[in-house]
A and B are shown apart, each in its own frame.
Chain A
Amino acid sequence: MTGVAAAKLRGYAALAAALVWTAIALHRPELIALAAPFALLLAVGLAATAPPELSVHTAEDELRAVEGDTVTVHAELSIAGRSSGPVAVSLHTPPGLSASVPARVLRLEEGAPAELSFDLRCERWGGYLAGGMSVRAVGPLGLVRYEQSVAPAVRIRVYPLTEAVQALPRPAATHVGAGNYVTRVRGEGLEFADLRPHAPGDRLRQVNWRVSARRGRLHVNEYHPERNADVVLFLDAFSDTSDEAGGTIDMTVRAASALAAAYLRTRDRVGIVGFGGVLRWVLPGTGNTQSYRILDSLIDTQVVASYAWRDVAVIPARTLPPHALVLALTPLADQRMLAALVDLRARGIDLAVIDVSPLPFVKPPGGDLGDLAYRVWRLQREQLGSRYRALGVPVIEWMHGRPADEVLAQLREVRRYARTVRI
């Protein structure tokens, strides 16, 4: 531990010395009496000071929570040797986490370790490294402080609080695999499709006995098979436009989290591509494990500044399976993302774009020139939307405050009635 002289050590010493010298100079014994308590405190305090040997161990390695939850970080504090005074333990909280009581003051005795617990409220989604502490042991009478830093060692994963979405855009193509989409073809399934005369090879359980009895000939039921689809969430992590109320990355992550949860509930295979300065991906998959894989990938989403050109060629082929529905969430701000979306569409991928609008987070610049620039920028954004629509890519603008479900319902309707453009 590092010993640091408290402010009062220097102050009391200077005061006592000054009073003694003044007493001698002015021949006033009262000043000696005035210096006496300060000198006494210094003498006793310094004589009894000894550096303590403290050790701190955090109990957890990793914690998981949802936004708004409170997690508890436990630590054990022990001392070797004689206890000198109270020990103050302060927990460092990274932005996004907050502690109602970030410090504890306690007394320690050798052989009796103290259990500490700090409640941390998870304010915002993200991956955090917490558990860093400052331990400060005060010597007798508080003249010397011994300080020790404990490096953060508890990884806290805070998942975004997701909005429940119902109106999911339906993929244009499905593939073999049990899911919730009832297909038009006939085969094994639950949804009744039609009746047909029995043919060799039909199973006995398919025979519709009532119809067979009425018609005097064996008839079997036919069904529509239930299929699932591949959905890839294509996230733009090139830029973030934000203010105190939120930002485009925040909206993107929340929407992606809600979409992934909803598609996984319908037994679709869901994958993630975080397209930005750092490329992140999760191969399409299904099930609870996949939902945690996706969430873990999402909470690490952040803007990493990069000027290197990046196109879809860098994305692993398995990440974008054939016939997958690619839902792009982008503020349509970076040329690399715009080029990648055009490239995806040119490859015949079923693409839909949710334009996470940065407009609510942009303060229009003042002056005529600033106003002109702002209007030109808005026109460029509108022109970009038109360009995608011309390619057969539906683009739905999502403004901050608008429910995601409403945006998705609009997207689903557009995709239902829009003519598919074949390139």
Chain B
Amino acid sequence: MLAAAAVAVRTATVSGGNGRAAVAVAAACAALLLAAAILARSEGAVVWAIALQAGVYVVALELRGGRVDAWAPAVAAALVGAAELGQWAVELARPAAVEAGITSRRAATILAVAASGAGVGWLLLLASNAGSRSVTLAAAGLAAAAAAMVLVRRLARST
């Protein structure tokens, strides 16, 4: 919920113009929907609440105008983190004895996925900014993205 709240705050601050208040309300509603989905123990609803948050962020970016939001990868990491933690919360609502070690591994995987996603996002943003100026930089970005994928895959295998 903290990650969802952070996304909602960023969404509200990134937008500009007359629609700022409406965007803030919509972002708060999306965060509340996520809370409701967790309480209702619905994994599908968690995903749709995250999709709604992403949609509100897209609207906020459009209201902002032509400037690129450099914090978009962080928003993406928070979104994926909120989605994964939300799904986990739904699973935890079912009574079950969980073996020691599974919880810490899962937490590490979620953190790694969010961090890798943010890293890939930043590299993509960097590549898009420098794309017209430097082919080498773009290639470096792509290589970094591939390396991140390999890292996450190794983590996934060990989970």
Contact = CB atoms under 8 A, between A and B. Distances in A.
Closest 6 interchain pairs by CB? A37-B117, A11-B47, A33-B121, A30-B72, A103-B96, A140-B156
Report the contact-size class of chain B (Cβ under 8 Å from the partner).
35 or more
Given A8-B87, A140-B159, A142-B87, A41 B113 contact: yes
B68 interface: yes
Nearest to B99: A106
Interface in A9-31: 10-12, 14-15, 18-19, 22, 26, 28-31
A37 to B, nearest CB: 2
Given A31-B61, A32-B128, A11 B48 contact: yes
Contacts of B113: 37, 40-41, 141
B102 A107 contact: yes
A34 B51 contact: no
Contacts of A101: 95-97
Contacts of A44: 149, 152-153, 156
A103 B128 contact: no
A51 interface: no
B44 A34 contact: no
Nearest to A143: B156
Nearest to B72: A30
Given A15-B51, A101-B97, 5 more contacts: A14-B51, A26-B61, A37-B77, A88-B96, A101-B96
B100 to A, nearest CB: 10
Contacts of B159: 85-86, 140-141
B117 A36 contact: yes
Contacts of A106: 99, 102
Contacts of A32: 121, 124-125, 128
B90 to A, nearest CB: 10
Contacts of A48: 153, 156-157
Interface string B23-54: 00000000000000000000110111011001
Contacts of A43: 149
A209 interface: no
30 contacts: A7-B43, A7-B46, A8-B47, A11-B48, A11-B51, A28-B62, A29-B125, A29-B128, A30-B69, A32-B124, A33-B73, A33-B121, A34-B54, A34-B79, A36-B117, A36-B120, A36-B121, A36-B145, A37-B76, A38-B79, A40-B148, A40-B149, A43-B149, A45-B156, A47-B153, A85-B159, A101-B96, A104-B98, A106-B102, A107-B101
B118 interface: yes
A8 B157 contact: no
Nearest to B49: A11
A180 to B, nearest CB: 51
A11 B48 CA distance: 7
Contacts of B128: 29, 32
A19 B122 CA distance: 16
B8 interface: no
Nearest to A30: B72
A275 B87 CA distance: 54
Interface string A320-363: 00000000000000000000000000000000000000000000
- The A contact surface, by secondary structure, is helix
B95 A33 contact: no
Interface in A359-383: none
Q: Which of B94, B98, B113, B159 has the most CB of A within 10 A?
A: B159
Contacts of B129: 29
B58 A107 contact: no
A7 B120 contact: no
A231 B132 CA distance: 101
B43 A8 contact: yes
A68 B122 CA distance: 61
Contacts of B44: 7, 11
Contact of B152 (A12, A40, A107): A40
A164 interface: no
Contacts of A31: 58, 61, 72
A6 interface: yes
Nearest to B131: A29
A102 interface: yes
A105 interface: yes
Interface string A133-177: 000000011100000000000000000000000000000000000
B97 A103 contact: yes
Given A7-B47, A29-B68, A105-B98, A38 B80 contact: yes
Contacts of B97: 101, 103-105
Contacts of B75: 34
A8 B125 contact: no
Contacts of B145: 36
A48 to B, nearest CB: 5
